[in-house]
Structure 1
Amino acid sequence: MKYPVIILVISFILGILIEELIIPNFYFYLILIPIITFLYFLLQRKFTQFTQFKSIHLIFTLLIFLFGALYLNWEHDNRVSYPFDSPKIRNAKIIGKICKIDIIKNQKLSFTFELEKINNKKFESELSHRFVCNFYKDSTISIDSIYNIIAIGNFVKFVGVINKARDQRNPGEFNYQQYLYNKNLSGIINCYRPETFEIIDNHVEVTDNFVFLVRKALDEKISLLHNSKSSALLKGILLADRSEIDYDIKTSFIDSGVIHVLAVSGLHVGFISIIIFL
């Protein structure tokens, strides 16, 4: 077989494409793959010259094709969605686990949150449902105090509003709902009453939280040493926080053909932190 890697990769991709169009049952593949494998070994044992025929390549390629289809079928079964009937649930008493914390913004603190309980009832689902959780600054209580005490792995409770993300309403419009689904996020939780926030379990995911603390320290040091325009650019390159970068600077990156520098920025900080920590 010439160029076996290319042929096998193409077979795997074709399996994914066919699965996307046909979407057979998961158990169909679990039955079909062992049958083809058994047929392959049976022919190889019965016909001593079978290995010299191109049929063996065809059967092996078909197996890779089926594995590609099976992979996408598994992805479909594990794809998240918004778990509630109502698109908005107000004044929900929420309990869950902090999975990821973003660098704090001027008016907002965001983190990824895995829902455990809602309104004192255990949230039961076959899949774990994670939400983008936003805390907005209040006139009396600053979200800075929350940002300074939380850690990845903490179990917390607060009162918030659960929202289904906006989908595509018009052709060509950005589909925020699908964007969140692709990131394994089920929806949005907004908290406008930060005084209701409370940590109920101080458990910490050590490795993930260490990376967050490194990013947090860099963010504070950059803000201390540079003006707002320079610090925004440095945060975008080093920490992947592009929210404060000036529009003209973004346009300059695009016009210069180096927008990819911002697109992939921030990854190396996490990698270096993990290497040092380990």
Structure 2
Amino acid sequence: MKLHKQPLLLLVICFILGILFQEKMVLAGITFYLVIVICLIILAAICFHSYFLHKTKAFLLGLLFFGAGIILHYHNTFSSDVSSFVNKKETVTFKISQKLNTTEKYKKYEGAGQIENINFNSVFYVPKDSKELDFVHYYKADAYITQPKEPQYDFQFEYKKYLKRKHIEYQAYVSKEIQSTERDDLTPTDKLHQYRFKVLKDIDKTGMSDKTKEFLKGIILADRTEIDEGTVQDFNKSGMVHFLAISGTHIVVIFGMFYFLLIRFIPLKFRKYAVILSLAFIWLFAAFIGFGNSVLRSCIMLSVYFIFVLLQRKPDLLHSLALSAFFILIGDTQQFFDVGFQLSFLAVLGIYWLNQPLLKYFPKQDNYLKKLLFNTITISLSAQLATLPLVLYYFHQFSFISIIANIVIVPFSEIIIVFSFLMTALVSCGIDFELMNVVYDFVIQILLKMIHWFAEVDVLFFENIPMNGLEVFIVFVVLYLLRSVIVKFNLKNSSGLIMAVIVFLIIRTGSNVFENQKEEVLIHTFGKNNLISIKRGDRACFWISDMENKDKVLQFVVKPYCSSRRIHHFEIKTFSNSVQKVVFRNKIYDLK
């Protein structure tokens, strides 16, 4: 890839660097206004024609987009003030904008609330046995207002920052007594969300098994709020979570299905209108299920690709990818920090970078079956390799069985998606074919059992894998150099790759040695109880008072701590609830 032939990609990289610069430096006041002035000067200079400026135009454009990233990210840093109501019970009027995953105690929603004419965004926690909230009503109830807490330690998930990136700064625990009144200010988006809500309820009324219903709602309507924890773990451990999430594959299949139907009724000379109508349909579908990152990216890329085709220009994948990133980030620069955004774009880059070189090692694709099988293998492998560094960095786990699972299941993904879309369409139209329900239920149950079987192969599943930022960067360098080795294996190409791998191993070994020299004692707050961890070298011991919460402690405390501190061995022990203080190396630690 010659970067000078990808100006849009270079500009979006400069734009992202500006976002990252503002995120770290937090420019404000005089320095921020100075950035605006410099950008205006650069913009004026670009418009002024001269020989010198012509030579430096590329540099000035990069600098302009860097400044634009700073400016937009500054304006996308959200803040509201209802601090006078925090940690108090207040009467709140609110509406919901999105349903979140249900917990053991609460149904969770994102929405906008109002207290005494002060507006704020919040996550609303509604008792689980309360009625389901919809998008066409305002609700009024007493609620306890809190703010998400800062994490105790650096290895914990920063939930407060995560919510703030979604422009949410508060949590509201709503009482059971909820009053409602019908809204008279519904937007087209609200009406689409309400219709989707109705379809989800209609799916619940069908005779299919619960797991099949939840799968259908997830794969087509992007609703995974009620999927049981066991199924989610199966998809995660088998590396098939992308199959359940709405992604590029789903959008392409739905576009292709609609286009296939249209060309059967539209004359050949009007074929371009079939493309336009199909694009309009996927955008309507995207609005219907909510504009997630992967959905938005897929719709933009597909639209740009076919606009090139309609204009009889050669399509360019990287141009489409860069434009997708621009449109999403201009709308909200905080989206860059979303894990889904990063993984989605990396997967496409990986397919662009590695798919064709890998495909050359397979036999000639002289029929449809070979083309489907070989492309499935190479595309899946390319996407997984490209996203692997970030997967390890964020989730600290990987399963080699995911490679096999993708090869086995992905070739049938088009059939499953089309079948699922047809079932959803029938349900939304009020048509309930019992025979089709039985057949679909049977097919999905087999699919879920296969995924469960792959997830059960623990011997190929690795967790608590430590990975810091520098290691991630070096692994990306390795992946960049890997392409040249695949294309042409020689001493020059392989030596660069070997050197990068050696540098990675040196950095990783140094990081392990540095971390294993430390001793550490921490008091962790978990729910209503505290627990203590004692670390020596690459070993740690966790003392907890309530073994009933062992699984949750393992998931939210032990595993994140072990991956952060590069712990190779750990054990969990119990202590009595009556213990209030612990003495270790002449230091007293208070557990209460």
TM-score (norm: length of structure 1): 0.73
Alpha-carbon distance between aligned partners in 2 of 1:156 and 1:248, rounded to the nearest angstrom? 33
2:121 corresponding residue in structure 1: 130
The 3 A distance-change label for structure 1 pair 179 and 264 is farther
Q: Relative to total residues, which structure has the larger helix share, 1 or 2?
A: 2
Please state whether the residue corresponding to 2:141 is helix, strand or coil: strand
Q: Over aligned residues, Cα RMSD in angstroms? A: 3.4
1:186 corresponding residue in structure 2: 169
The 3 A distance-change label for structure 1 pair 270 and 85 is farther
The 3 A distance-change label for structure 1 pair 10 and 247 is closer
Deviation at 1:183, TM superposition (A): 1.6
2:34 corresponding residue in structure 1: 28
Alpha-carbon distance between aligned partners in 2 of 1:10 and 1:207, rounded to the nearest angstrom? 32
The 3 A distance-change label for structure 1 pair 36 and 114 is same
Deviation at 1:8, TM superposition (A): 2.1
Question: For 1:1-278, what aligned pairs fall within 5 Å after superposition?
Answer: 2-3=4-5, 4-25=7-28, 26-41=32-47, 44=49, 47=50, 49-50=51-52, 53-76=54-77, 79-80=78-79, 83-85=82-84, 87-90=86-89, 92-96=90-94, 98-102=95-99, 108-116=106-114, 118=115, 121-123=116-118, 129-137=120-128, 143-144=130-131, 147=133, 150-152=134-136, 154-194=137-177, 196-199=178-181, 201-264=183-246, 271-272=284-285
Larger Rg: 2
The 3 A distance-change label for structure 1 pair 197 and 245 is same
The 3 A distance-change label for structure 1 pair 221 and 107 is farther
Deviation at 1:159, TM superposition (A): 1.4
Please state whether the residue corresponding to 1:249 is helix, strand or coil: helix
Deviation at 1:87, TM superposition (A): 4.0
Deviation at 1:271, TM superposition (A): 4.2
Please state whether the residue corresponding to 1:129 is helix, strand or coil: strand
Deviation at 1:13, TM superposition (A): 2.5
Deviation at 1:109, TM superposition (A): 4.2
Deviation at 1:89, TM superposition (A): 1.4
Deviation at 1:165, TM superposition (A): 1.9
Alpha-carbon distance between aligned partners in 2 of 1:151 and 1:56, rounded to the nearest angstrom? 49
TM-score (norm: length of structure 2): 0.37
Q: Which amino acid aligns with 2:35?
A: Y
Please state whether the residue corresponding to 1:224 is helix, strand or coil: coil
User: Is the Cα–Cα contact under 8 Å of residues 13 and 65 in structure 1 kept in the other structure?
Assistant: yes
Q: Which amino acid aligns with 2:34?
A: F
Alpha-carbon distance between aligned partners in 2 of 1:221 and 1:7, rounded to the nearest angstrom? 45
Deviation at 1:259, TM superposition (A): 1.1
Please state whether the residue corresponding to 1:185 is helix, strand or coil: coil
Alpha-carbon distance between aligned partners in 1 of 2:173 and 2:34, rounded to the nearest angstrom? 42
The 3 A distance-change label for structure 1 pair 248 and 108 is closer
Alpha-carbon distance between aligned partners in 1 of 2:229 and 2:109, rounded to the nearest angstrom? 25
Q: Which amino acid aligns with 2:170?
A: G
Please state whether the residue corresponding to 1:198 is helix, strand or coil: strand
Per-residue CA deviation, residues 9-58 of structure 1 (Å, 9 max, x unaligned), is 3322332233233333332222222223334455x3xx5x346x522332
Alpha-carbon distance between aligned partners in 1 of 2:100 and 2:20, rounded to the nearest angstrom? 38
Deviation at 1:223, TM superposition (A): 4.5
Per-residue CA deviation, residues 114-156 of structure 1 (Å, 9 max, x unaligned), is 223x2xx321xxxx52112222156xxxx33x64xx533x333
Alpha-carbon distance between aligned partners in 2 of 1:15 and 1:103, rounded to the nearest angstrom? 32
Percent pairwise identity: 22
Unaligned runs of 5+ in 2: 252-281, 289-424, 426-592
User: Is the Cα–Cα contact under 8 Å of residues 107 and 125 in structure 2 kept in the other structure?
Assistant: yes
